[in-house]
Amino acid sequence: MTKERIGFIGLGIMGKRMALNLLKAGYSMTIRSGNEETRSEFAAKGVRVVHTPAEVAAESDVIITMLPGSPEVEEVVLGENGIIKTVRAGSACIDTSSIDPVTSVRIASELRKKGVFMLDAPVSGGQEKAESGTLSIMAGGDEEVFERCRGILQSMGKDVVLVGGSGAGQIAKLVNQCIVAVNMAIVGEAMCLGKKAGVDPRKIFEAIRGGLAGSQCMTDKAPRMFSGDYSPGGKMWLHVKDLKNVMTACREYDVAMPLTESVLAMMEDVVRDAGPDTDHGGVAKYFEKLNGVSLATRDS
């Protein structure tokens, strides 16, 4: 059976690695990237490189987008040189970006008018799992389209789940981002208690990581807090964007989320102090500033 031709738009930290895994799985590919180094790297691998989303769509059966937010996805899909201008009926779009669910449903509706099917399929796992092809992928859309695209999704992810209809994948991702944000925040806050009480946070981490308090967030992010290395795996500004989408969803569905709202304010504070590209585990900096300590400094 001939594999479907893939178009990929958005080859940043995550998208580039996802696209490379699709190449390893034997898919042919057309890409559009604003990065010259990325264009050259993929061209050297035999990938067709074009200039507009419309050109990508014209040459692809399944178009994948991995973009920063709702405005970028909307422009790439529905804009003047967007996918919708040339995409053929029967094609599928998989948006792996994390965007506002309401926008996602609207874009899917516009594509459906052209006979094009869309999955909203945001991912979780960060750069490392994007590279290893073990991302968690939460999809929203029609079951038939999901089954058609399952092999493509499984080339990029390990846990691939159809959550529900259009927009359900984005809701699942927002739930994920809330839990991750609050989890990282409490790790930073609680470790500051240990530090100010004169107990080495590293030893606390070793003692509790295997118990009920243990989590993937603590395992991944606590060592960053102890080293002070906040080079981005997941950029803080992107997590802030996701939590702002959560607040939009809260208004849409009349949900109160005070914990998430509080952590959003903390992350915005860190973005102002440390910059937007700080790793999202850098939310610990908020508590370090508040308490006048550094989790990265060993006491003598």
Is 300 a domain residue?
A: no
- Burial of 143-181, coded b for 16+ CB within 10 Å and e otherwise, reads eebbebbeebbebbbeebebbeebbbbbbbbbebbbebb
Is 299 a domain residue?
A: no
Annotated active-site positions, please? 173
Greater confidence, 125 or 207? 207
What would the mean pLDDT of 135-144 be, rounded to a whole number?
97
Question: Does one domain contain both 144 and 282?
Answer: no
- Supply the pTM of this predicted model: 0.91
Question: Does one domain contain both 131 and 180?
Answer: no
Is the CB of residue 96 less than 8 Å from the CB of residue 122? yes
Residue 78 pLDDT exceeds 90: yes
Q: Give SS3 for 146.
A: helix
Q: Of 181, 173, 150, whose CA–CA distance to 101 is shortest?
A: 173
Q: What is the pLDDT of residue 23?
A: 97
Kindly tell me the burial class for residue 82, based on how many C-beta atoms sit within 10 Å of its own C-beta (0-12, 13-18, 19 or more). Answer: buried
Q: What is the pLDDT of residue 232?
A: 82
Domain boundary among 113, 147, 164: 164
Domain boundary among 164, 186, 213: 164
Mean pLDDT score of the chain: 95
Is 35 a domain residue?
A: yes
Q: What is the DSSP string of 205-224?
A: HHHHTTSTT--HHHHHHHHH
Question: Can you say how many angstroms the Cα of residue 245 is from the centroid of all Cα atoms in its chain?
Answer: 13
Q: What is the pLDDT of residue 127?
A: 85
Q: What is the pLDDT of residue 1?
A: 58
Question: Does one domain contain both 233 and 159?
Answer: no
What would the mean pLDDT of 122-132 be, rounded to a whole number?
91
pLDDT band at 297 (very low <50, low <70, confident <90, very high): confident
Question: Does one domain contain both 142 and 215?
Answer: no
Question: Does one domain contain both 276 and 256?
Answer: yes
Question: Does one domain contain both 160 and 180?
Answer: no
What would the mean pLDDT of 253-278 be, rounded to a whole number?
97
The tally of domains found in the chain comes to 2
Question: Does one domain contain both 181 and 147?
Answer: no
Q: What is the pLDDT of residue 300?
A: 45
pLDDT band at 3 (very low <50, low <70, confident <90, very high): confident
Question: Does one domain contain both 244 and 266?
Answer: yes
Question: Does one domain contain both 40 and 158?
Answer: yes
What beta strand segments (E) does the chain contain?
6-9, 29-32, 48-49, 62-65, 92-95, 117-120, 123-124, 135-140, 157-164
Q: What is the pLDDT of residue 128?
A: 85
What CATH code is carried by the domain that includes residue 224?
A: 1.10.1040.10
Q: What is the pLDDT of residue 137?
A: 98
Q: Which residue has the tokens 């702002």?
A: 244
pLDDT band at 221 (very low <50, low <70, confident <90, very high): very high
Question: Does one domain contain both 180 and 245?
Answer: yes
Question: Does one domain contain both 195 and 117?
Answer: no
Question: Does one domain contain both 157 and 177?
Answer: no
Is 215 a domain residue?
A: yes
Is the CB of residue 157 less than 8 Å from the CB of residue 66? no
Domain boundary among 112, 140, 164: 164
Q: What is the pLDDT of residue 298?
A: 79
What CATH code is carried by the domain that includes residue 117?
A: 3.40.50.720
Question: What percentage of the chain has pLDDT greater than the value 70?
Answer: 99
Range of the domain at 250: 172-291
Greater confidence, 126 or 54? 54
pLDDT band at 299 (very low <50, low <70, confident <90, very high): low
Q: In DSSP terms, which residues pair with 8 in a beta bridge?
A: 31, 64
Residue 245 pLDDT exceeds 70: yes
Q: Write out pLDDT tens, residues 11-39.
A: 998 999 999 999 999 999 999 999 999 99
